[in-house]
């Protein structure tokens, strides 16, 4: 169930939603952040904290929140890691507008930049290639057929693009895993959420890219893998572009 944001006295704050300790505005046509996605955010924050001396430059770590929705992951990471510089992106006007409102309301707009575009094309003018320490992504991962069947109820209150992951539920994962390589620094991290039972598909996609170390998974309280954590090979460079079609 969604978290309701609380005032300092512990009373519910109407219209706001709590995610990893930050209070977010919601909108009817934007995905409501799920409590289960806190596993992804907490895993990302832990990597940034544990490897602060290794990955943080003078200006702090650079983070991308792809498929940012309301901005919940990027904003929560920025709040937990004060040195982080976050870039977030999503596709629709309403989603980007909501994420920007949340950044401003949390006074994080100077460290969290929201862009609009189709995945990494949103950052075409930002010069981020090869300079990102960590990318986090909660993409759509329900198959189109399930959305038209047993999961059709999800579309009653939230937009299709927030759930529809294509014929097998992994269409966006395929693109993100492939295109992340060009943006991460050598040794940088990609973390993403996936649906129950999709861990083998995720591992196969990562292995096929030949740009990452072996994947590890974070599991929920029931012991089900739900988040992939994978590190770009420190030695991955120009010689490896044949696997991805793009330079590291």
Report CA torsion sign: 213, 216, 77, 178: positive
- The mean per-residue pLDDT over the stretch 224-236 comes to 94
pLDDT tens digits for range 208-221: 999 999 999 999 99
Q: Give the pLDDT score at 142.
A: 57
Residue 115 has what DSSP assignment? E
Highest mean pLDDT: which of 9-18, 159-168, 227-236?
Answer: 227-236
Q: Give the pLDDT score at 196.
A: 86
Token representation of residue 154: 């999800």
Over pLDDT 70: what percentage of the chain?
Answer: 75
Record: fold of 32-244: Rossmann fold (3.40.50)
How would residue 242 be classed by pLDDT, with cut points 50, 70 and 90?
very low
Determine which of 21-25, 108-112, 140-144 has the lowest per-residue pLDDT on average. Answer: 140-144
- The mean per-residue pLDDT over the stretch 115-133 comes to 97
Strand duo 216-219 + 225-231: pairing = antiparallel
Three-state DSSP at 41 gives helix
Q: Give the pLDDT score at 161.
A: 54
Contact of 173 with 199, CB cutoff 8 Å: no
How would residue 22 be classed by pLDDT, with cut points 50, 70 and 90?
very high
Its pTM stands at 0.84
Token representation of residue 168: 């097998």
Sequence spans of domains, the chain: 32-244
What distances in angstroms separate CA 192 from CA 8, 92, 136, one per listed residue?
A: 32, 20, 6
Give alpha helix (H) positions in the chain.
38-50, 52-55, 72-80, 93-105, 144-147, 171-183, 199-209, 241-244
Contact of 50 with 117, CB cutoff 8 Å: no
- Phi first, then psi, for residue 147 (nearest 5°) are -65, -25
Q: Which residues pair with 25 in a beta bridge?
A: 16
pLDDT tens digits for range 108-119: 999 999 999 999
Residue 161 has what DSSP assignment? G
How would residue 133 be classed by pLDDT, with cut points 50, 70 and 90?
very high
Q: Give the pLDDT score at 214.
A: 96
CA distance 133 to 188: 5
Token representation of residue 86: 């976050």
Q: Choose between 148 and 203: higher pLDDT.
A: 203
How would residue 1 be classed by pLDDT, with cut points 50, 70 and 90?
very low
CA distance 225 to 45: 18
Q: Give the pLDDT score at 200.
A: 93
Contact of 66 with 38, CB cutoff 8 Å: no
Q: Give the pLDDT score at 2.
A: 43
């Amino acid at each position: 169930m969604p978290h309701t944001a609380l005032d300092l006295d512990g009373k519910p704050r109407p219209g706001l939603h709590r995610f990893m300790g930050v209070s977010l505005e919601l909108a009817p046509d934007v995905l409501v952040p799920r409590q289960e996605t806190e596993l992804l955010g907490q895993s990302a924050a832990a990597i940034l904290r544990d490897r602060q001396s290794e990955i943080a430059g003078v200006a702090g770590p650079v983070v991308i929140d792809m498929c940012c929705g309301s901005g919940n992951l990027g904003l929560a990471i920025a709040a937990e890691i004060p040195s982080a510089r976050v870039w977030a992106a999503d596709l629709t006007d309403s989603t980007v507008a909501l994420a920007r409102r949340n950044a401003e309301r949390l006074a994080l707009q100077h460290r969290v930049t929201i862009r609009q575009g189709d995945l990494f094309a949103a950052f075409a003018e930002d010069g981020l290639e090869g300079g990102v320490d960590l990318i986090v992504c909660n993409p759509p991962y329900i198959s189109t057929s399930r959305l038209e069947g047993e999961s059709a109820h999800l579309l009653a209150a939230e937009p299709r693009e927030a759930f529809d992951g294509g014929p097998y539920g992994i269409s966006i994962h395929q693109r993100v895993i492939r295109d992340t390589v060009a943006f991460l620094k050598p040794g940088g991290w990609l973390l993403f959420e996936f649906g129950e039972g999709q861990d083998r598909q995720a591992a196969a996609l990562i292995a096929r890219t030949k740009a990452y170390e072996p994947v590890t998974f974070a599991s929920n309280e029931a012991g089900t893998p739900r988040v992939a954590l994978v590190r770009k090979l420190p030695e991955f460079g120009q010689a490896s572009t044949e696997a991805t079609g793009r330079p590291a």
